[in-house]
């Protein structure tokens, strides 16, 4: 894109001060990061929790998107963290403004455990060397 891989390493502020801020947000929103599904997949119903996800109390809704964004800090502590409450309040206000019914939707992540490799979001989307066969690759679930 810039002719060198070093451009953004030398000037990371370009992500905050140019069109790259929207591009990076769009990438984060749409691209899964196994074992986490993408936020788009949570919202559009592509991600369907399997038994492992259900065991970890992961379910579709705004709470799952918080878990994707910053779950290690904001989620799974048994009580709401201020950052998660802030996100939930904004979500409720936007839903009210746009007249979207969110009743019955799980907007909390306080009780959720992290996504893990046994969950439905753990997709084979990365390539790694096939260690048994020379010059071959295989799809893997890890980065």
* Residues 73-83: tens digit of each pLDDT: 999 999 999 99
Q: State residue 111's pLDDT score.
A: 97
Q: What is the pTM of this model?
A: 0.84
Residues of the chain with pLDDT under 70: none
pLDDT of residue 85: 97
Q: What is the rounded CA–CA span in Å between residue 65 and residue 109?
A: 9
Instruction: Quickly count: other Cβ atoms within 10 Å of residue 38's Cβ.
Output: 21
Output the pLDDT for position 1: 76
pLDDT tens figures, 37-55? 999 999 999 999 999 999 9
């Amino acid at each position: 894109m810039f002719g060198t891989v070093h451009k953004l390493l030398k000037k990371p502020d370009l992500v905050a001060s140019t069109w790259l801020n929207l591009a990076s947000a769009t990438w984060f929103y749409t691209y899964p990061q196994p074992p986490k599904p993408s936020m788009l997949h949570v919202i559009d119903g592509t991600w369907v929790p399997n038994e492992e996800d259900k065991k970890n109390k992961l379910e579709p809704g705004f709470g799952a998107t918080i878990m994707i964004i910053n779950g290690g800090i904001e989620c799974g502590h048994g009580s709401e963290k201020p950052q998660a409450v802030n996100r939930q309040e904004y979500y409720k206000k936007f839903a009210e403004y746009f007249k979207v019914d969110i009743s019955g939707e799980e907007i909390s992540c306080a009780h959720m455990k992290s996504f893990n490799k046994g969950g439905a979001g753990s997709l084979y989307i990365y390539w790694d060397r096939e260690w048994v066969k020379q010059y071959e690759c295989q799809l893997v679930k890890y980065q």
